[in-house]
Amino acid sequence: MKKNLKAFVAAAATLALSAALLAGCSGGGDAEKPANSDNGGAADAFTLTVGFDQGYPPYGYVGDDGEFTGFDLELAKAVCEKNGWGLKLEPIDWDAKDALIASGSINCIWNGFTMENREDDYTFSDPYMYNEQVVIVKKDAGMSALEDLSGKIVLTQVDSAALHVLESSEEGGQAELAATFKELQTIGDYNNAFMQLESGIVDAVACDLSIAAYQMAAKPDAYVKLGVLAPENYAVGFKKGDTDLAKQVTDALKALDEDGTVKQLCEKYNEQGITYDNWVL
């Protein structure tokens, strides 16, 4: 009886070893690796998840074909291709961006993102594009200077750089100017802000120069820039302390400038208000 039992155990062990060897040779374990359509299926390749406002042309928006496009999104794609990364574009609620980057749902904010006055909250790439906060009014509004906004309704995006400038009483802030407004209102996106300006619901929109240039290029006879609230720069924002990723993106952007890619993208979006003259990296 003992001999039969020993023989049975030995045979079972031999069968188990043979099955394991066959499984190892078959390569069946590859099926457990996560697929990534953006990086050719390489399971261990890094994927850059870019958080952006999909209503922020010309930097990030939905194109006529229904696909996400824009100057910054194409820059992000070029950086990922250069570094061998996957790319995931994640449209976000702009008001939720801090929570999303803190949780790791996105690992950067790349969408005409002003770095000034946000340095304590994010780690940034080197600045790559010069920008300004400006005020836009209708051409026939009869206003020619920022002082003419006294008693007017001014609209800007929630949690925007323009809002920060208009609420700040620190050096470079425009709280004194805002105190002369009839009202300073906020809205979720600039497309709707300009719709309200066009319809006469508000008297002015405070926004980025690039947004203003896009809107004025689309309707050259409708709007005029009233004045500059503050100069600033765009950079890519990362979770605080993520310095390695910020440096890799900066280095890739410099390389893309050297090989002419940046200039080509600027020319592609020139009619939408982008100019290579404002590239600062």
Burial-class residue 110 by CB neighbours within 10 Å (0-12, 13-18, 19+): buried
Give one word for 40, left, alpha or beta, with left for phi > 0 and alpha for psi -120 to 50.
Answer: left
> For domain 131-232, is the CATH number 3.20.20.80?
no
Instruction: Name the least confident of 16-20, 43-47, 152-156, 179-183.
Output: 16-20
Rounded mean pLDDT, 28-40:
35
Helix axis angle for 243-258 and 261-268, nearest 10°, is 80
- 102, 92 in Cβ contact below 8 A? no
For position 44, what pLDDT does the model report? 67
Mean pLDDT computed over 194-217: 94
For residues 257-265, average pLDDT: 98
Strands 47-52 and 108-109: parallel
Go through the chain and tell me how many residues it has: 281
Residue 173: pLDDT band with limits 50, 70, 90: very high
| pLDDT at residue 21 tops 50 | no
Q: Where is mean pLDDT largest: 28-37, 43-52, 229-238?
A: 229-238
The mean predicted confidence, pLDDT, of the chain is 86
Percentage of the chain with pLDDT > 70? 84
Single-letter code of the amino acid located at 192: N
Residue 159 to residue 162: CA distance in whole angstroms = 8
Domain positions in the chain are: 47-128+235-278, 131-232
Specify the amino acid at residue 261. T
What pLDDT, on a 0 to 100 scale, did the predictor assign at position 45?
86
Task: Show the tokens assigned to 143.
Answer: 């206003």
Across 115-141, average pLDDT: 95
For position 9, what pLDDT does the model report?
38
Q: How many beta carbons lie within 10 A of that of residue 187, not counting itself?
A: 18
- Answer whether 47-128+235-278 and 131-232 agree in fold: yes
CATH, range 47-128+235-278? 3.40.190.10
